[in-house]
Amino acid sequence: MSKVLVYILILISSMHARGLNSQMNDYMTLLQEEAKLQNRNFKSFDYQRGELIFTTQRIGKKGKLISCVSCHTNELSKKGQNIHTNKVIDPLSPIYNSSRFTNVKDVKKWLRRNFRDVYSREGTAIEKGDVITYIINKDLK
């Protein structure tokens, strides 16, 4: 029975990690293991939960209401703009910007920074996995 469960989990994880390179797949697997330690009932990363993380507005460090959408927009195929510096941000969707989600070091860095900016704390493994799942799958449909 537990074997079946493992297979299902592997299947789900490989679906969510569709199109990712091997270092990113490894990272997603790592997040998944952490997620299971964090919550016994954890099944898999979830697009809807990720969307909520991405779009929920919070009082950011500067006292203004911000969300991930503030800079990245919610059209991940399009360019965004840093609200503090006006600098253009390339599309987040790996389908429209093939350099996205290819380098684990970069992904970790931006998750750390941006969670702190919007949520004033780092994301948990579940949250990170959810939001990545949202971003990489949003434009697949």
Q: Can you give the binding site for another protein, defined by CB under 8 A?
A: 60-62, 82, 84-87, 105, 109, 112-114, 116-117
For another protein, the closer of residues 17 and 80 by Cβ is 80
How many Å apart are CA 35 and CA 45, to the nearest integer? 9
Q: Considering beta carbons, is residue 18 or 112 the nearer one to another protein?
A: 112
Other CB atoms within 10 A of residue 24 CB: 19
- The three-state secondary structure class of 25 is helix
Q: Which is nearer to another protein, 55 or 99 (CB)?
A: 99
- For residue 141, the minimal CB distance to another protein (Å) is 29
Answer whether 103's CB lies under 8 Å from 22's CB. no
Q: Is 89 exposed, middle or buried (0-12, 13-18, 19+ CB in 10 A)?
A: middle
CB 101 within 8 A of CB 136: yes
What's the min distance (Å) between Cβ of 38 and another protein?
Answer: 22
| CA 47, 49, 139, 60 torsion-angle sign | negative
Q: Which is nearer to another protein, 36 or 116 (CB)?
A: 116
